[in-house]
Structure 1
């Protein structure tokens, strides 16, 4: 996949285009991307995705605040490439762009920059100032500028529309397995291993503390998870804890993300790490003693190994 940051060098001959934020690149997005690649193949042209960075909501909110999202730009690009897209263009999002009228947006970006031959829209896609551009207006512009247009239907799971908003809610609530089903892959967390307090090592379960490489990354609900860890080209079974470690640090503990990699003793501080969340074993809880905590951790490990071996 050819990736363009900005549009100065972008070239294509009447490509098939879709555009959007694609947070999480979930199954609904995948269906849209598959339609784009299939249409491009039938027309003998490029399949193209246009997305925006930073996330528009971060820019419009001023500083992002408590906003959290499913995927960083790096994660998003990798998932879009997996879908078989030929070219991806990342447009810098800024306040002035949010104020551009729909007609001006279509003329500048879709017609002049992309040279779109056919546009495939998501079922709920809006564009231009205050989102006034919709399926009706894009049909009008398509006729004016001579490009084809079609709109995808919503993809549903048990009568529920698959959306980034729904998946974010599920992950926040600890409904990991359902979220993974809607994503179509295990939820990811990428980051760097940082120094911790070595509490896990004192308990006989050394952990690697993880700091996300994306400040707006949605961290799943507090609790214990069966996960897969990727270090370079190597994959490992592991269990991961998210929470304030209240049994050890009382009620003043800071929320941490730490992973115990099974049968692993290497020093990986400052290394890049990827975690794939497979199952949520349980929610977080405060135990009466370290002994009680250790007994539960032993049970957590046994259950994680069982689930990861299925």
Structure 2
């Protein structure tokens, strides 16, 4: 029997070469990494924008509350908001290995930093406090590097140091050449907040950023309840529109939503790189101080703003 040519003609099969498959996979991975980096930078920047309102909001809240009452109430309200969100979404409790880091976040960002900066703002202007706390990116990057034994390029550290030097020079110029008594509170706040940021940023790689700050705030609820019970009867309370607005922003905006996007951003791009975005925070706070509090902005602010923004750009491009 004679077979037709078509029956024995070999069928053409399209075969994708291993090289093209590997190239496509590599390109897709690179695109995903780039998207993750852009998203992380955006989230961290939103956190910085939220934090820039913290000191003006604190100044408003201090118009009607004492420092201990304010810190206790903001922790309590923040803890209630976080607890409701965690319960509503039925979030499971963190693993046992996560609790030490969560305690560091709670102690640094929920208790230590708010308390120390609130005490400082009783005698310091928001503009002065903002530029002193502008050293936070450098302290956070240094703490993270020591803790994780990581190394960064000389360009990265050089830009970070220059940015910190600009902030220090601006702070000295604002204070008339001599430090104030509130600076001790502010420098202590830098140390505890750097630890909280670094620990939270590492933890945000294993769990969602909002859960990091959420569980940290829930941990603070017992302390907040006791503090409020002791402080509110002992300190004068005069609720005004400014006081209520400041307290609500500190509790929901700066302490919960702001920290949520901040930790998520750090989890995406790393603690050290994200912390450098905070170099812009003191200058944003200066703008809010003028608009919301009527404080005077010196001519040196635009010069410092340009220098700091340049440093941010360099650190974001430098590779560790």
TM-score, scaled to structure 2: 0.25
Give the structure with the larger helix fraction: 2
Q: Could you say which structure has the higher strand fraction?
A: 1
Q: RCO (CA 8 Å, sep 6+): is it higher in 1 or 2?
A: 2
- What is the TM-score of this pair, normalised by structure 1? 0.26
